[in-house]
Amino acid sequence: MNWYALSDLAILRELGSSLRQVRLNRNQSQQAVADAAGIDRATLSQIEHGRPTSLLTFVQLLRTLEQLDLLDSLVTKAEISPLAMARLAKKQRRNASPASPTPPPASTEW
């Protein structure tokens, strides 16, 4: 699906429809899912019809429907390229520096 071609409200409708389908596939009523998620049944109905909701409510529903793994694609980890890794390895110290000799005492004579 080309998400960029959709308006924000159309995306909400798609997400709501998907949540509804997951709920139906699990053979759960709106009331049962709403109770388990800690939200009102009317709120769930609105979400399933594409009405805006808070991110917290959306996460509660994903948890209740055991769909939290869908969030994996949203989380990015900082990856270091092999070239950058090689550069960092070059900069790491490999040996200790020898102890510096004590400087000669300063002479007061010219």
16-75 residue pLDDT tens: 999 999 999 999 999 999 999 999 999 999 999 999 999 999 999 999 999 999 999 888
pTM of the model: 0.68
Q: What are the residue ranges of helices labelled H in the chain?
A: 8-25, 30-37, 41-48, 55-64, 82-91
What's the CA gap between 12 and 100, in Å, rounded?
68
> Can you list the pairs that 98-105 forms with residues at least 24 positions away whose Cβ atoms lie under 8 Å?
none
Query: pLDDT digits over 78-93, tens only?
Result: 787 888 888 888 877 7
> 39: burial class by Cβ within 10 Å (0-12, 13-18, 19+)?
buried
